[in-house]
Amino acid sequence: SVDYVVVFDEETPYDLIKKVQPDILVKGGDYEGKVVVGSDIAKEVKLVEFVDGKSTTKTIGKIQGIC
């Protein structure tokens, strides 16, 4: 289950990840082969495949009431 979904204004979420201490850190599939900020803190990093028609930006916009 998902415990937190957080929007942040910092350049990276490192300090936030450090505070939350997640068991699993989830990133999009576009992070394959890239350094994931906070991977040294989380117990596990999961990369998930993209789903056509789904957009994190649009989801955040709906939550914030701007889309």
Q: Are 29 and 50 in contact (CB under 8 A)?
A: yes
How many Cβ atoms from other residues are within 10 Å of residue 42's Cβ? Answer: 17
The per-residue pLDDT for range 10-61, each reduced to its tens digit, is: 999 999 999 999 999 998 888 888 899 999 999 999 999 888 888 778 888 8
Vertex 18 angle, CA 49 and 3, to 5°: 55
Give the pTM.
0.69
The per-residue pLDDT for range 48-67, each reduced to its tens digit, is: 988 888 877 888 888 888 75
Tokens representing 2 are 């998902």
**The tokens 């990133």 sit on which residue?**
27
Rama region for 64: left / alpha / beta (φ>0; ψ in -120 to 50; rest)? alpha
